[in-house]
Structure 1
Amino acid sequence: MSQEKTLHVHDADYEMAPATYMDDRSLAKGGASWVQLAALGVSCVIAGEFAAWNYGIGLAGWGGLFIALVLMALMYFCLTFSLAELSSIIPTAGGGYGFARRAFGPSLGFLTGMAVVFEYTFVTAGVALFFEGYFASLTGIDGLVVLLPLYGIFFLVHLAGAKESMRLLMLLAALATLGLVSFIILMLPSFDWQNIIDLPVADAWGASDFLPQGYLGIWAGFPFAIAMFLAVEGIPLASEEAENPRKDVPKGLIAAVTILMAFAVLILLSAPGAAGSGTLVEGADPLMIAFTRVYGPDHPLRYIINISALVGITASFFSLIFAYSRQVFALSRAGYLPRFLSVTNKRKAPYMAILVPGAIAIGLTLTRATDQIIVIVVFSATLSYLLMLAAHISLRLRERNLKRPYKTPGGLVTSGIGFLLACLAFIVCISLSIVWSITALLCLGAFMLYFWFYSRHHLVAQAPEEEFETMRAATSELDGGEMR
């Protein structure tokens, strides 16, 4: 990287990259419609409809989990409406990092980006374990013979390029959606409200049949409610690969969160309503447990539901690799992370951004530390939500004249409600595991030290997310500033 000309902006130094730098780090343009972006958002999350949520019934009771779901759904609607506006302003692969960077400068921009990287890398490992659980339910086979081919196959698919990846994504999303719809239809004839409230009532404040763990059960239900939406906010990471990002990304975000809300409510009603809440408090494959309870272990449709679950979890696994690779790509292209991570292959796939975090995800999967992984995922996710919502509020207050092709309904009220609910979710996460929340914070702190002592002195002026500030600084320089 040429050191002849650097620009000092906001305690960071920008280097002018050689002419070929951005050519070697370009993604395939215009390959994704808003429908495909919505499918990406649904697919990122859909594993949460097949697994994990059921543990919340035991800790929160059905009513506690349902109230937590309503509150978290409201938070995600506020978040996605706010991100829709931000993505129409800054339609780049940087996603959350780009939004926070524009609002608060490079330090908080990098922190936001790394929180997103942690979220997607760790949740990829967790989803791989969900896949193993359903695969073992179907075949009796688990372990490395399942996990390593899963990673290997989908690394290869992503390396083939975005257009090919999106085609497979649409197929997986359609099959998973069909599986969920089939499950709900099969469960609803056996629905009985008494099945939902069949848990024993604890001796707790506000305990009842509806809230068997009392009011504090709502608190315990937050992480599991989040699991039914977590990662939908990754759609803006595909901005540079969208046909018309300023219009398609907002459409994709809103469509995805609406579909996920409908599925979350229907799954939470149909599975416990047919099989009983007490039946589902444990198990890595709650839909299969519910189906077996209602129809028995030998029903031929059992295999269809199980395969649909595997497809759905595979869709999430596939989409999460896409999401973490684009965030790592954007941070690397701008110089925050080592630059080799953003080089793309002949098919315009950021191969090192796919493989390096993927190798870390494999290592996390092999630890089988599912509980700890989930805590770090929720901690990182809610931290990034706080920063992105704060970015929306800040830009609305400080840069009112920005061109906004899409405007958030309700404006600051919407992002303010989302921010307050994200604060609540963040506090809940910390309270559930202080040790692992501190661990996540220390890991993020290590990356911030890398930024502070090295990468902030070697940022790239031509990176799309950085161009606004460097151009503004260059203009200021003409009026008497100093270029070093």
Structure 2
Amino acid sequence: MADTPEEGLKMTLGPWLLWGMGVGLVISGMYFGWNLGLAEGGTLGLAIATGFIMLMYVTFTFSYTELACAIPKAGGAFDYADRALGKRMGFVGGMAQIVEFVFAPPAIAAAIGAYFNLYFPGVPTLGIAIGAYFLFTLLNVLGVRLATTFELVITILAVIELLIFAGVTLPHFEAKNLAINALPNGVSGAFAAIPFAIWFFLAIEGVANLAEETVNPQRNVLLGFGSAIFTLVMLCILTFLSSVGVNGWEAVVYPPDSAEPSDSPLPLALSYVVGDNSFLYHLLITVGLLGLIASFHGIILAAGRATFEFGRMRYVSSLMGKVHSKFKTPAYALVVNMLVGIVALLTGKTGEIITIACFGAISLYMISMVSLFVLRKNEPKLERPFRVPMYPVFPAIALAIATVALVAMTIYNPIIALIYFGIILVAYAYFHFFVNKSQVAKTKA
């Protein structure tokens, strides 16, 4: 469907801002959540899972960049699947993307609330989390360049924070700590750790949703996307080793005298080095909050574009396909996403919300790789400013690992899998019986 002037997004973004978005979307995964995979697989189990997931993300990113450069639209995977596989699979791919982007922020918001509550115990955690939703949704409504510039600044600070953390902890690294109870649940623990390995990199593909707002997207999306995944792989390895190498994996999962897993692995590791009352400890924890804010804000931005494209195609209310008359941002889509996210936040099920978001991500990756193969076959003359190297090996690797991950996640999280696939099924039924039939009827008329 051709855009009307009211539906067009403003092109203002360059490679630096896209790098900031790519790293910022993901960087909270370095600060919390990943350590829960240690409880499932131990050091070796999570390392195995992370190694395979890292390979998936590297090959997927190069493959996805080809799609983003050839079809620079705000819907990302939705637009690629719609063109390659038809409206039905396009809808499924778009819904998987929306589930990922809408369900990831509530988990991060809960962590932001918990961080603030450490310093302001009189303020309710839930109140802080909801307040963060309103604040960063407003920031996104006010303009994409303002939002992405803010994202770049806090992302740089969050990266510096991780480098300082590694600089403080690595002198205390001992390889023998990596071997302590390294595989507590056997090989099955590596499969159970997959969602938490995904959390290290979840939402990197959100950069593609900004292609429509990027100056010279065929060049800048590649530069932003490629540099972002390289940065994240390095940070993942550095954070994993510098955390677990201090005192073993259990020290960054369970707080002293507690059997409940913690959402703060870096503070736990740091406390073994400098104590929990030192100036450096409090400084790094305070600055570490920026990592959570960077991802929270960035995913809200990408989610707005994904929902906006659904509205623009009339797959949901056309109101969500409108842009703000003054700021030229998808304001209505951003507000609706915020309301859904707050409802999820109110459930208090952070771990389950993370896993649902991972189900959406893996489904999106699989559909996107199939779309790439189909487009290569059916549209060989489509202009592709960037072509994935080692085709078809790279997309095949990404598709194979994503398929194994989806099966493993379903086996180890059957109830959450049922909820996720139930959401997709109900949404598809709505699309089939109402949206699609209505569009067919209009075409015949």
Mapping for residues 26-175 of structure 1, pairs under 5 Å: 26-29=8-11, 31-140=12-121, 141-175=123-157
Q: 1:398 aligns with which of 378, 388, 396?
A: 378
Alignment of 1:323 onto 2:302:
yes
Residue 192, structure 1, aligned to residue 174, structure 2: yes
1:350-401 CA-to-partner distances (Å, cap 9, x unmatched) read 1110001111101111111112212211111111111001111111222222
Q: Work out the CA distance in 1 between the residues paired with 2:405 and 2:225.
A: 21
Deviates more, 1:392-401 or 1:295-304: 392-401
Q: CA contact under 8 A between 2:113 and 2:126: conserved in structure 1?
A: no
**Deviation (angstroms), 1:457:** 4.3
Q: Which amino acid aligns with 1:160?
A: L
Post-superposition Cα deviations, 1:60-83, rounded to whole Å, max 9, x if no partner, equal 010111111110011011111111
Q: How many residues align?
A: 434
CA contact (8 A) 1:237 1:323 kept: yes
SS at match of 1:391: helix
Q: How far is 1:412 from its partner?
A: 1.1
Partner of 2:366: 386
Residues 134 and 284 in structure 1, CA contact (< 8 A), matched pair in contact too: no
Q: 1:268 is matched with which residue?
A: 240
Shift of 1:458: 5.1
* Displacement after TM superposition at 1:194 (Å): 2.0
1:34 deviates by 1.3
Report the 3-state secondary structure (helix = DSSP H, G, I; strand = E; otherwise coil) of the residue aligned with 1:328: helix
Which SS does the other structure have where 1:409 is aligned?
A: coil
- Find out whether 1:456 has 2:428 as its counterpart: no
2:318 corresponds to: 339
Cα distance in 2 between the residues matched to 1:428 and 1:307:
36
5+ residue gaps in structure 1?
1-13, 200-209, 461-481
Distance 2:153 2:225 in 1: 19
Q: What is the CA-CA distance between 1:349 and the residue it aligns to?
A: 1.1
Q: TM-score, normalised by structure 1?
A: 0.87
- 1:133 and 1:285 in contact (8 A); partners too: no
Which structure 2 residues correspond to residues 275-290 of structure 1 after superposition, within 5 A?
Answer: 275-281=247-253, 282-290=261-269
Distance 1:326 1:353 in 2: 8
What does 1:234-383 correspond to in 2, within 5 Å? Answer: 234-281=206-253, 282-345=261-324, 346-383=326-363
Indicate yes or no: 2:4 matched with 1:25.
no
* Deviation by residue 1:286-305 (Cα, 9 ceiling, x = unmatched): 11111112111111011221
Matched, 1:445 2:425: yes
1:174-213 superposed Cα distances (whole Å, 9 cap, x missing partner):
11111111101111010011222223xxxxxxxxxx4333
Higher percent of residues as helix: 2
Contact between 2:107 and 2:353, CA under 8 Å: does it hold in 1?
Answer: yes
**Stretch deviating more after TM superposition (446-455 or 37-46):** 446-455
SS of the residue corresponding to residue 72 of structure 2 reads coil
Letter in 1 for 2:216: N
Mapped partners of 2:66, 2:429: distance in 1:
31
Runs of 4+ in 1 over 6 A off after TM superposition: none
User: How high is the TM-score relative to the length of structure 2?
Assistant: 0.94
CA displacement 1:199-244 (0-9 Å, x = unmatched)? 3xxxxxxxxxx43332222112211110000100111100111111
Q: CA deviation at 1:253?
A: 1.5
RMSD over aligned Cα atoms: 1.7
Distance 1:459 1:251 in 2: 38
Gaps of 5+ in 2: 254-260
